[in-house]
């Protein structure tokens, strides 16, 4: 019997993704036990999240949603995928290092990214479905949204629990703290940006002033 | 050969030049840039629906200079009546707007005495009983006279409990409905227009505006919950802006409010019970977003001071701040924006009142002391024809006019809506989808898409069915083969391991 189990768990990296997302309770535990998980695939998933966000906004069925397509600004999509995920990873790592978590930054990144697969799938499936369904049938789209998002939330919980080897209560506490840490980081980021802007304006005015004086 | 080439070049150049001059004369007539709103609610250049024909002063009419002509009315007989406020008179003008037919300086009362007007500011002529209703502002009365100048009735400040006796009675505008009920807009009353029965008895107020629920007012409401009775009686009260002007068309009264801080109830369509039919309408009247004027450091928000309903049901609104006329169809879709505050013909200094008659708009200006006449352009004519057909439900008949409209102005959103509706009605779903997309009309697109999908399935039923069957068979096959593979692999491993064991 033991051989059979081992045989089952000699999976390719892609098979590991499938295993993790189809086994919400022990999938990530198995991954941890086998020390599996690929940073490349994690990065690919986040890229897909980025693209799916754009697709969901811009390629959505016209009868369900009318986008403001006069301009295209990529920054909100970058924020919605890379920046938020990065903040989540760093924030979770920072919080859980203090809370006796066992996860490394690499593992947090990999496990969290794997947990996002249902959410990304939901975005893409809905984008596709919106071209086949009319408004009266939009309830199917919302069902898929709820299932995809809920599934991802459960997976994310399970991922954090197994990467740090936490109890359920501690996981919830850690996630709440992580969200707080993310907000603080984003606040500091904005502060930094505005500061840089002010400094830049200062130097540009200084430069302008000097050029005017020289011209005189 | 060279000659032919030369000729060809000259011909081509002349054609281009002709085109240029044609465009130039068509667009350079207005002293302002004509614009309309696109599907994102952003202003874009557009074709003019009306163009200023001429400005008429009192001298042109042979009655001397007008002084603050504050209201104009087009009567049933085709004549125009202007209240010449500063000169305390009413001027009747012929339908061509070339000569004054009659000047009413004074009126003869029932007892034979003469009575003069004092700053009259509103006039209405009823087609039913052929009476003239004059808001005689500074005399605090409404005069009802016949067209020969004999006073039939005089309405003065009502002596009832409903009307606060401390308030003055200064009528600004007056109208009468078919039954002869008189409605009077008063300059200091925010509870709506005063309503009088045909025999001059005060019957109450009509069509008050709502208080707009701004953050401040909501905050006041909550802080009011904790205040004592005494405090409550002494705080400032939140009252809605009063009605500025109104017009009657059929059984409906349209009111407008010029308060630039108010965004709800700027235009209302009231039924006989005083209920606002536009209450749940999301339409915005006037400019979508106020313009900030850097030279004066103030925000120029639209203030609609007069409303007029054309015979075809279009709603004309006069914006005092920017001197613009906004024309909407009866469903509140924006058709045209005309006018500007300017010195040239077609511009205003202080637009006061608006009246429409056939294909022309008449706007009085209390600073220029003129009446500016706008004439419908060819473009305006086509749009009006199309929108009238569309609004009466003849979508397919409106298709050709709408296509014609697009030839004039390819960014005219209303036309795309009309074409989409027409194509949908005629069952041309693909085209309807295309135009609905251009018009940003999600609802029409959805309806068209439903039909398109149904048609597609009906036409391709066999291939779809076959694809479904073969697809499911193929998927089932793949799943089965994968399972077999896995089982074989597991069996092989097991065998290999047991072999290892045996060797040990």
What pairs with residue B269 in β-bridges? Answer: B254
Sign of dihedral through CA atoms B192, B193, B199, B202?
A: positive
Task: Report the alpha-carbon distance of residue B200 to residue B180 in Å, rounded.
Answer: 10
Task: Report the alpha-carbon distance of residue B204 to residue B194 in Å, rounded.
Answer: 6
Task: Report the alpha-carbon distance of residue B379 to residue B407 in Å, rounded.
Answer: 9
- Average pLDDT taken over every residue of chain A: 90
Task: Report the alpha-carbon distance of residue A7 to residue B177 in Å, rounded.
Answer: 91
> Contact at 8 Å (CB) between B299 and B315?
no
Question: Which tokens sit at A201?
Answer: 């304006």
Find the distance separating the first CA and the last CA of chain B, reported in whole Å.
104
Interface touch B442/A64, C-beta < 8 Å:
yes
Q: Give φ, ψ of A156 to 5 degrees.
A: -65, -40
Interface check for B440 against chain A (CB to CB < 8 A): the answer is yes
Interface touch A62/B489, C-beta < 8 Å:
no
> Contact at 8 Å (CB) between B338 and B319?
no
> Contact at 8 Å (CB) between B286 and B304?
yes
Q: Nearest C-alpha of chain B: how many angstroms from A67?
A: 10
What pairs with residue B155 in β-bridges? Answer: B142
- Cα angle value B282/B284/B287 (rounded, 5°): 160
Q: Nearest C-alpha of chain A: how many angstroms from B446?
A: 5
Task: Report the alpha-carbon distance of residue B50 to residue B345 in Å, rounded.
Answer: 13
H or E, element range at B354 = strand B351-357
Task: Report the alpha-carbon distance of residue A216 to residue A200 in Å, rounded.
Answer: 25
How do residues A63-119 score in pLDDT, each as one tens digit? Answer: 888 888 788 999 999 999 999 999 999 999 999 999 988 889 999 999 999 999 999
Q: Nearest C-alpha of chain A: how many angstroms from B23?
A: 28
> Contact at 8 Å (CB) between B195 and B201?
no
Task: Report the alpha-carbon distance of residue A131 to residue B393 in Å, rounded.
Answer: 30
Interface check for B37 against chain A (CB to CB < 8 A): the answer is no
pLDDT for the residue A3 = 46
Sign of dihedral through CA atoms A4, A7, A9, A14?
A: negative
Write the CB contacts of B40 (distance below 8 Å, at least 6 apart in sequence). Answer: A68, A70, B440
Write the CB contacts of B402 (distance below 8 Å, at least 6 apart in sequence). Answer: B386, B390, B415, B418, B419, B422
Angle between helices A105-115 and A84-98 (to 10 degrees): 130
pLDDT tens, position by position, for chain B (504 residues)? 556 666 666 666 565 555 444 444 444 467 888 899 888 888 899 989 999 988 999 999 989 899 999 999 999 988 999 999 999 999 999 999 999 999 998 899 988 899 999 999 999 999 988 999 999 999 999 999 999 989 999 999 988 888 888 888 999 999 999 988 999 999 888 888 999 999 888 998 888 888 777 787 888 888 888 888 888 888 777 777 888 899 998 889 999 988 767 777 888 999 988 888 888 877 888 888 888 888 888 888 888 999 999 988 899 999 988 899 999 988 888 899 998 888 888 889 999 999 998 889 999 999 999 999 999 999 999 999 999 999 888 999 999 999 999 999 988 988 999 999 999 999 999 999 999 988 888 889 999 999 999 999 999 999 999 999 999 999 999 999 988 887 887 787 777 666 665 555
> Contact at 8 Å (CB) between B50 and B376?
yes
Task: Report the alpha-carbon distance of residue B252 to residue A134 in Å, rounded.
Answer: 38
Task: Report the alpha-carbon distance of residue B358 to residue B147 in Å, rounded.
Answer: 23
Q: Nearest C-alpha of chain B: how many angstroms from A214?
A: 32
Q: Identify the three-state secondary structure at position B6.
A: helix
Interface touch B494/A132, C-beta < 8 Å:
no
Of A3, A63, A64, the CB nearest to B493: A3
Task: Report the alpha-carbon distance of residue B247 to residue B270 in Å, rounded.
Answer: 10
pLDDT for the residue B23 = 45
Question: Which tokens sit at A19?
Answer: 């295993």
Task: Report the alpha-carbon distance of residue B392 to residue B398 in Å, rounded.
Answer: 10
Interface check for A132 against chain B (CB to CB < 8 A): the answer is yes
- Cα angle value B87/B92/B95 (rounded, 5°): 140
Question: Which tokens sit at B352?
Answer: 């006061």
Question: Which tokens sit at A29?
Answer: 């535990």
Contacting residues of A for B450, CB less than 8 Å apart = 134
Domain span at A9: 2-215
Q: Give φ, ψ of A198 to 5 degrees.
A: -60, -45
Number of domains in chain A: 1
- What pTM does this model have? 0.77
> Contact at 8 Å (CB) between B347 and B341?
yes
ipTM of predicted complex: 0.75
Task: Report the alpha-carbon distance of residue A27 to residue A18 in Å, rounded.
Answer: 9
Contacting residues of B for A62, CB less than 8 Å apart = 433, 436-437, 442, 445
- Cα angle value B420/B422/B428 (rounded, 5°): 80
Q: Identify the three-state secondary structure at position B97.
A: coil
pLDDT for the residue B21 = 46
DSSP label of B419? H
Within 13 Å, how many C-alpha atoms sit on residue A13's CB side? 10
Write the CB contacts of B183 (distance below 8 Å, at least 6 apart in sequence). Answer: B174, B175, B176, B177, B193, B194, B195, B196, B206, B246, B248, B253
Interface touch B490/A134, C-beta < 8 Å:
no
Cα-to-chain-centroid distance, residue B180: 27
Task: Report the alpha-carbon distance of residue A28 to residue A17 in Å, rounded.
Answer: 10
How do residues A122-154 score in pLDDT, each as one tens digit? Answer: 999 999 999 999 999 999 999 999 999 999 999
Pick the residue with more confidence: B250 or A206?
Answer: A206
Question: Which tokens sit at B224?
Answer: 């009011």
DSSP label of B82? E
Q: Identify the three-state secondary structure at position B22.
A: helix
Of A7, A62, A134, the CB nearest to B490: A7
The residue with tokens 């209240």 is B83
DSSP label of B210? P
């Amino acid at each position: 019997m033991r051989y059979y189990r081992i045989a089952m768990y000699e999976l390719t990296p892609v098979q590991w993704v499938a295993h993790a997302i189809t086994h919400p309770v022990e999938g990530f535990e198995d991954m941890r036990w086998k020390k599996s998980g690929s940073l490349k695939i994690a990065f690919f998933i986040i890229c897909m999240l980025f693209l799916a966000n754009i697709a969901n906004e811009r390629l959505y069925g016209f009868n369900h949603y009318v986008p403001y397509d006069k301009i295209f600004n990529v920054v909100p999509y970058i924020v919605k995928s890379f920046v938020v995920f990065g903040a989540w990873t760093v924030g979770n790592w920072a919080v859980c290092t203090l809370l006796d978590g066992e996860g490394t930054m690499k593992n947090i990144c990999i496990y969290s990214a794997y947990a996002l697969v249902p959410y990304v799938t939901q975005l893409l499936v809905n984008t596709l479905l919106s071209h086949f369904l009319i408004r009266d049938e939009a309830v199917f789209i919302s069902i898929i949204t709820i299932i995809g998002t809920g599934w991802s939330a459960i997976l994310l919980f399970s991922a954090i629990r197994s990467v740090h080897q936490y109890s359920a209560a501690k996981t919830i506490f850690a996630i709440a703290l992580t969200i707080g840490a993310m907000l603080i980081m984003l606040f500091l980021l904005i502060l930094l940006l505005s500061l840089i802007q002010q400094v830049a304006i200062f130097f540009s005015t200084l430069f302008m002033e000097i050029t005017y004086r020289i011209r005189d | 050969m060279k000659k032919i080439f030369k000729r060809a070049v000259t011909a081509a150049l002349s054609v281009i030049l002709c085109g240029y001059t044609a465009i130039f004369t068509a667009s350079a007539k207005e002293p302002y840039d004509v614009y309309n709103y696109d599907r994102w609610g952003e202003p874009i250049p557009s074709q003019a629906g009306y163009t200023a024909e001429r400005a008429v002063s009192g001298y042109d009419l042979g009655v001397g200079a007008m002084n603050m002509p504050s209201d104009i009315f087009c009567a049933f007989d085709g004549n125009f009546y202007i209240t010449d406020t500063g000169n305390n008179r009413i001027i009747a003008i012929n339908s061509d707007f070339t000569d004054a037919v009659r000047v009413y300086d004074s009126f003869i009362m029932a007892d034979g005495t003469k009575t003069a007007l004092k700053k009259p500011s509103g006039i209405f002529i009823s087609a039913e009983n052929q009476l003239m209703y004059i808001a005689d502002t500074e005399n605090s009365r409404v005069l009802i006279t016949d067209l020969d100048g004999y006073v039939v009735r005089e309405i003065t400040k009502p002596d009832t409990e409903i009307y606060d006796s401390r308030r003055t009675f200064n009528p600004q505008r007056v109208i009468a409905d078919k039954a002869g009920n008189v409605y009077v807009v008063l300059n200091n009353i925010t509870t709506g227009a005063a309503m009088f029965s045909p025999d001059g008895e005060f019957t109450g107020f009509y069509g008050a505006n709502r208080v707009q629920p701004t953050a401040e007012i909501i905050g006041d409401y909550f802080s009011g919950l904790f205040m004592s009775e005494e405090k409550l009686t002494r705080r400032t009260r939140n009252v809605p802006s009063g009605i500025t002007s109104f017009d009657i068309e059929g059984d409906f009264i349209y009111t407008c409010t010029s308060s630039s801080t108010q965004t709800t109830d700027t235009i209302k369509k009231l039924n006989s019970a005083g209920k606002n039919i536009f209450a749940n309408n999301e339409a915005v009247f006037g400019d979508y977003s106020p313009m900030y004027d850097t030279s004066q450091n103030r925000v120029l928000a639209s203030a609609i001071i007069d409303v007029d309903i054309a015979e075809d049901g279009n709603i004309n609104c006069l914006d005092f701040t920017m001197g613009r006329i906004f024309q909407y169809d009866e469903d509140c879709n924006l058709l045209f924006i005309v006018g500007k505050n300017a010195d040239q013909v077609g511009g205003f200094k202080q637009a006061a009142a608006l009246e429409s008659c056939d294909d022309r708009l008449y706007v009085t200006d209390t600073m220029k002391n003129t009446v500016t006449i706008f004439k419908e352009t060819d473009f305006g004519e086509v749009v009006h024809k199309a929108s009238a057909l569309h609004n009466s439900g003849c979508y397919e008949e409106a298709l050709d006019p709408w296509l014609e409209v697009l030839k004039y102005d390819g960014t005219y959103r209303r036309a795309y809506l009309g074409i989409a509706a027409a194509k949908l009605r005629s069952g041309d779903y693909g085209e309807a989808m295309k135009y609905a997309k251009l018009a940003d009309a999600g609802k029409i697109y959805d309806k068209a898409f439903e039909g398109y999908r149904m048609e597609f399935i009906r036409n391709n039923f066999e291939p779809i069915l076959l694809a479904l069957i073969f697809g499911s068979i193929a998927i089932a096959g793949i799943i089965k083969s994968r399972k077999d593979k896995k089982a074989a692999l597991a069996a092989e491993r097991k065998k290999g391991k047991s072999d290892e064991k045996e060797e040990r």
